[in-house]
Structure 1
Amino acid sequence: MTRTMRAAVLVKPGQFEVQDVPRPVPGRDEVLIRISRVGICGTDMHIFNGHYAAENLPMIPGHEFTGTIAELGQGVTGLTIGAPVVVDMNIGCGTCYWCRRNEVLNCPNMQQMGITMDGAFAEYISVPARLVIPAPGDVSAGVLALTEPLACVVRCARKANISFGQSVVVLGAGPIGNLHVQLLRTIGAAPIIVADLSEERVKMALEAGADVGVSDPTKLKDTVLHHTDGRGADVVIESVGLPALYQQATRLIRKGGHIAAFGITGAGETLPVDILQTILQENSIKGSVAGMGQDMHDALTLLTYGRIKTCHFTGASYPLDQIQAAFDSFVDRPQDLKTQIALTD
């Protein structure tokens, strides 16, 4: 095996360079993964535009990935070279209070592949063996690469305690919003109301399982009230990351309702909350941002058994050498809910 590999290095905001870089060598209890597919995430776009983790550049981004095991480090057992896998991108210490509670993002020593350290826009990546999850050989790499984003959605639903018969509003019909809709349909939430300024993406969300779609923001509140007997929604999921939408969410939940804070805003942005009304109405808000641990396993199971429609997520792919074009054109292709970088067939 050669000692170098091709990798897409984000040298500064807005500029990738595909370079020959040292190929990682798996250490003890690590596994070397040959990358097959990597999805472009909204977080990747924030990094690309210089809005997030800019202090870590230059860096190899990419965290939504699948591949095959190329090499086992010393001490690794239970995994097989050549086997397809997905990987939990959140690296905690594994022993602290938060790691033991599957709240790895709160670990004082937490690292994230492709965000705080080099990631998967490369031919190979070396990862801790404990984070490697064997995947079925009959599921395509394009579908397997959706495991991590779906795991984020699984965790959001789990944190919000969403169950059958609950009315849910999803603010945003982009890729994550579409996955929220599909998971809510699987859970049995009803009605599912999705809102987005893009009529095309609202239509795609309706095809994915939403009951009601709204593209005119001036009609959203009346629509929600109409479909909830005037109460408001049990749960509102903000999946865009705009303070104005979070503020709108406070006006869409019923008394005793819940806001699932999912969309990432800019640092320091705040949400005005009427404390007295929150107390008297027993409303709540809970954050959730990334899938980890069991969330990854559950997401893989849902994908394996076809619970998620993936056709709009796997159709747009670019080779590694064209990663700059993939990022530059990302926002101009709303019909492609996901763009992936394909490193192997």
Structure 2
Amino acid sequence: MRAFVLTGPGTYEVQDIPEPVAAPGEVVIDVERVGVCGTDMEFFTGEMAYLHQGHSSFPMRLGHEWSGLVRSVGAGVGREWLGRRVTGDTMIGCGDCRRCLRRRGHVCEKRREVGVRDGQPGALAEQLAVPASSLHPLPDSVDATLGALVEPGGNALRAAQAASADRNERVLVLGPGSIGLLVAMFARAGGADVHIMGKEQSSLDFAGTLGFERLWREDTLPDLPFDSIVDASNAPHLPALALELVEPGGRIVCIGLAGEPSRIDTRTLALKDVTAVGLLSASPALDATIAAYADGSVDPRPLVAATVGLGQVGAVLAGERPRGARAGPKIHVDPRNIAG
């Protein structure tokens, strides 16, 4: 099969490699769609922390936002999975430790991460082998594009839930990238009054096409009480700004990662009685995200600007926009696209 292999920082190949075989407890997926995300780009540049912490190494196969059809099953896996459209959890815990037994496998110390940590190749290939226990079935109303948006959507839904983004709440989302816009969509679906702050006017303009009207830059933010603020940016100064702006008794949620440490004044945190939440992983919210996509309460398909083949992935990771791409922030890959 064909697979995109990152051989080092900024170097890559589309290789012909052996097709995976389903081991006991595993399935093999015919991959239909894969999302490219900021984590993939950090691996491409060599900046991803896992590379320096010994969790990941080159060569590696990226791709953790995916959907596809179950092609084959290994021993111990029910044949009812065959032919089903599915997506899968990125985080695969050991299953035996204290965290896993408490349903916190996404922070298991020994966890594997599809397309991220060593030992679990990703979905930027025509086929993918994953544990059957990580699968989440997709209903007919959730197509391949939506299926590959479940993983980022699960992260965003958790952020919206952590912000208590429901009716009568005013929520400010910092950063109108893929995750920030998904957070805004889920918060809006819950009835919150959603505001979005961005840096680039083009990103704010795109948010406007999604029906968001309260769009700001840092120097134009209105003097309003924000009950919750979600930092979905990579700007190191914004967590401190969030703490400054949030209402006493409110909540700040950190889901974006900066390239350097962010600092906040914990005296302000305490004296304002603010709850601060950090989030890793979509795992606890995957099924709820699928349900929201299935019933149409959230439709993130406009976020996808283009769908390319494996041969174009390197250029996308290097920051190039595909020819003819629309305005959205997300690029998808169809590994079956021979022309790409």
| TM-score normalised per structure 2 | 0.90
Partner Cα distance (1:233, 1:102) in 2: 32
**2:335 matched residue in structure 1:** 343
**1:16 matched residue in structure 2:** 12
Which sections of structure 2, spanning at least 5 residues, go unmatched?
none
**1:326 matched residue in structure 2:** 316
Query: Which letter maps to 1:80?
Result: W
Between 206-215 and 83-92, report the one with greater CA deviation: 206-215
Deviations 1:80-108 (A, max 9, x none): 32211111111002233322343223212
**2:188 matched residue in structure 1:** 185
**2:205 matched residue in structure 1:** 203
In the TM superposition, what is the alpha-carbon distance from 1:138 to its structure 2 partner?
Answer: 4.3
Between 18-27 and 97-106, report the one with greater CA deviation: 97-106
**2:233 matched residue in structure 1:** 240
Q: How does 1:163-178 map to 2 (within 5 A)?
A: 163-178=166-181
Pick closer, same or farther for the CA change 1:335–1:102 going to 2, 3 Å: farther
Tell whether the 8 Å contact from 2:35 to 2:149 is kept in structure 1 after alignment.
yes
Tell whether the 8 Å contact from 1:181 to 1:205 is kept in structure 2 after alignment.
no
| TM-score normalised per structure 1 | 0.89
Query: Which letter maps to 1:14?
Result: G
1:254 aligns with 2:244: no
**1:133 matched residue in structure 2:** 136
Partner Cα distance (2:106, 2:198) in 1: 29
**2:76 matched residue in structure 1:** 75
Match of 1:31 among 18, 27, 30: 27
Query: Which letter maps to 1:279?
Result: A
Tell whether the 8 Å contact from 1:182 to 1:209 is kept in structure 2 after alignment.
no
Partner Cα distance (2:15, 2:83) in 1: 25
Between 326-335 and 24-33, report the one with greater CA deviation: 326-335
- The alignment partner of 1:133 has SS state of strand
CA RMSD of aligned residues (A): 2.0
- The alignment partner of 1:266 has SS state of coil
In the TM superposition, what is the alpha-carbon distance from 1:16 to its structure 2 partner?
Answer: 1.8
Match of 2:46 among 46, 50, 73: 50
Partner Cα distance (1:172, 1:211) in 2: 15
In the TM superposition, what is the alpha-carbon distance from 1:334 to its structure 2 partner?
Answer: 8.1
Q: How many matched pairs?
A: 328
1:263 aligns with 2:253: no
Deviations 1:146-167 (A, max 9, x none): 1111011112223333322111
Query: Which letter maps to 2:215?
Result: G
Pick closer, same or farther for the CA change 1:102–1:200 going to 2, 3 Å: farther
- The alignment partner of 1:263 has SS state of coil
Query: Which letter maps to 2:124?
Result: F
Partner Cα distance (1:283, 1:160) in 2: 11
Partner Cα distance (1:56, 1:81) in 2: 33
In the TM superposition, what is the alpha-carbon distance from 1:315 to its structure 2 partner?
Answer: 4.1
- The alignment partner of 1:169 has SS state of strand
Pick closer, same or farther for the CA change 1:83–1:274 going to 2, 3 Å: closer
Tell whether the 8 Å contact from 1:88 to 1:148 is kept in structure 2 after alignment.
yes
